[in-house]
Amino acid sequence: MIRINVFVEGQTEETFVRELLYGYFQEKNIFLNPILVKTSSVSKGGVVSYAKIKPQLNKKCLEDRSAFVTTMFDLYTLPNDFPGKSSLPQTSDPFQKAEYLEQELSKDIGHKNFIPNLLVHEFEGLLYSKAQAFSEWFDASVVNTLEAERNAFPSPEHINDDPATAPSKRILRCCDGYEKPLHGSLIAIDIGLDTIRQQCQHFNQWLRRLENLSS
């Protein structure tokens, strides 16, 4: 069995890995182990400083070289000390940004069993793959708003990372009572992995890379 340790930013992403990805990959003889990043000796969650994250990634890569280590960090709001952040090329293409930063992260970690991955632009972007899934929790006007926002972009991953218009900010603005730990993973489960993969090409490429480890 192939083992992959998946470093995640928060409880929602941890649940997403356990509930939506774990079973799918288990059928392919790949075992996923979500790990919530530590921000201090007593706190967990969030990539607030790369200097605090790097030792955790390094340690896990060295701990078991027969296992793989990957990340599920948001491209949106990466800390300034993140590899490549200060030299990021000027481009409006979100995939080019993510790929550049992933390459720089891979260079900085420098282990063969490390697979860098960034969500474009953040976890909530995946939820735009099927706005109708929000209807279980919110009224039709909310679904209509989300669908209109989704249709204004080529894909959910193109919904931008401006502090006022990032996917999470848009959802909070129109979904009164939205709580990421409660709704985020449940809505993603309702959407289903197939739909998310069809809508989100960068996310799908990451999963393909993990799948190919078994071939």
Q: What is the pLDDT along the chain (215 residues), one digit of tens a residue?
A: 999 999 999 999 999 999 999 999 999 999 999 999 998 655 667 788 999 999 999 999 999 999 999 999 999 989 999 999 999 999 999 999 999 999 999 999 999 999 999 999 999 999 999 999 999 999 999 999 999 999 999 999 999 868 889 999 999 999 999 999 889 999 999 999 999 999 999 999 999 999 999 98
pTM for this predicted structure: 0.95
CB-CB neighbours of 135 under 10 Å: 14
User: CA–CA separation, 200 vs 159, rounded Å?
Assistant: 11
| Residue in the structure block whose two tokens are 């060295």 | 62
Tokens of 15: 């649940």
Contact at 8 Å (CB) between 171 and 124? yes
Distances (CA, A) of 17 to 131, 185, 214: 21, 9, 18
pLDDT for position 7? 98
- The domain ranges of the chain are 2-121+196-214, 124-193
Tokens of 183: 């709704």
* CATH number of the 2-121+196-214 domain: 3.40.50
Kind and range of the H or E run holding 74:
strand 68-74
